[in-house]
């Protein structure tokens, strides 16, 4: 416990001092520059695609996020690419996939990534009655929590949520805010749900990242084209001087694992 508190206090007084740690086997790695604490009390909704505010990132700082996994064929490749570059990202899990592939969800956690929630089965929640939409959110969180921590609970360890298809509603946003769950939108995406080659996706996302300069990047770890282009994307970010920031919850629970 003392060690845990020490970690917290150091993190609290030196949020910008955390130079990227050495990356085993890859001295030129992109790395993870720092963490940013995201708290529903101050930023309940982030991402300019949907909301008026985003994370307070500096010049050329990016938060990488991956939706819709875990999915063995592609999430494994995504995790390997992130590990090679010592980059820590945020994954938004689909509960039924987490229930089916719990070892892969736990690998995300074990490799230091942030793991948030993305419903049980990915419906557009604004097309459901409120109670059914909330049940989708809760069931997804319960499945994720059980896969990750062995506890079936609807209050999430990491209170980060993303709406499938960004299909939120005012009532659901209010309910999530009451539960202190941060809703993640995005500032830039690769449109990786559309048919294109990995090279086309790489060119598109780099062009869009250059345009926004900094922000939350949305990708899908279920997409083969994204898994294929990710190593080159991370290399290009390094070459172009971008820095990776990991979003972490305010309560520090992640540090216990």
Q: Which is nearer to Zn ion, 159 or 164 (CB)?
A: 164
Q: Which is nearer to Zn ion, 34 or 45 (CB)?
A: 45
Per-residue contact track with Zn ion, 56 to 75, x per CB under 5 A?
A: -----------xx-------
Q: Determine contact, residues 100/88, Cβ cutoff 8 Å.
A: no
Residues 137-196 that bind Zn ion (CB under 5 A): 164
Q: What CA–CA distance (Å, rounded) separates 66 from 222? A: 9
| Coil/strand/helix, residue 5 | helix
Catalytic residues: 67, 220
What Å distances lie between residue 221 and 56, 94, 135, 191, 241, CA to CA? Answer: 25, 11, 24, 13, 24
Residues 7-36 that bind Zn ion (CB under 5 A): none
Q: Which is nearer to Zn ion, 51 or 163 (CB)?
A: 163
Say if residue 107 is exposed, middle or buried (CB neighbours under 10 Å; 0-12, 13-18, 19+): middle
Q: What CA–CA distance (Å, rounded) separates 120 from 95? A: 4
**Is residue 70 reached through a cis peptide bond, with omega within 30 degrees of 0 on the bond before it?**
yes
Number of residues lying near Zn ion (CB under 5 A): 3
In angstroms, give the least distance from the CB of 5 to Zn ion: 36
Beta bridge partners of 220: 67
Q: Which is nearer to Zn ion, 54 or 119 (CB)?
A: 119
Q: Determine contact, residues 88/113, Cβ cutoff 8 Å.
A: yes
Residue ranges in contact with Zn ion by CB under 5 A: 67-68, 164
């Amino acid at each position: 416990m003392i060690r845990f508190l020490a970690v917290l206090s150091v993190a609290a007084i030196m949020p910008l001092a955390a130079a990227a740690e050495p990356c085993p086997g890859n001295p030129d790695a992109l790395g993870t520059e720092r963490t940013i604490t995201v708290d529903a009390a101050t930023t309940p909704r982030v991402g300019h695609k949907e909301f008026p505010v985003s994370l307070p990132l500096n010049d050329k700082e990016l938060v990488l996020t991956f939706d819709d996994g875990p999915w063995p064929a592609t999430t494994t490749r995504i995790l390997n690419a992130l590990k090679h570059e010592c980059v820590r990202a945020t994954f938004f899990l689909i509960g039924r996939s987490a229930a089916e592939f719990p070892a892969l969800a736990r690998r995300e956690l074990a490799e230091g990534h942030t793991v948030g929630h993305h419903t049980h089965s990915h419906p557009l929640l604004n097309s459901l009655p409120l109670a059914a939409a909330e049940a989708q959110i809760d069931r997804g969180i319960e499945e994720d929590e059980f896969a990750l921590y062995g506890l079936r609970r609807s209050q999430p360890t990491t209170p980060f949520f993303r709406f499938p298809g960004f299909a939120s509603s005012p009532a659901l946003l209010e309910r999530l805010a009451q539960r202190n769950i941060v809703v993640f939108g995005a500032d830039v995406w690769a449109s990786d749900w559309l048919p294109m080659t990995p090279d086309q996706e790489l060119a598109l996302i780099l062009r869009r990242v250059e345009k926004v300069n900094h922000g939350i990047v949305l990708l899908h770890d279920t997409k083969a084209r994204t898994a294929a282009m990710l190593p080159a994307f991370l290399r290009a970010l390094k070459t172009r001087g971008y820095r990776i920031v990991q979003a972490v919850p305010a309560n520090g629970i992640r540090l216990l694992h």
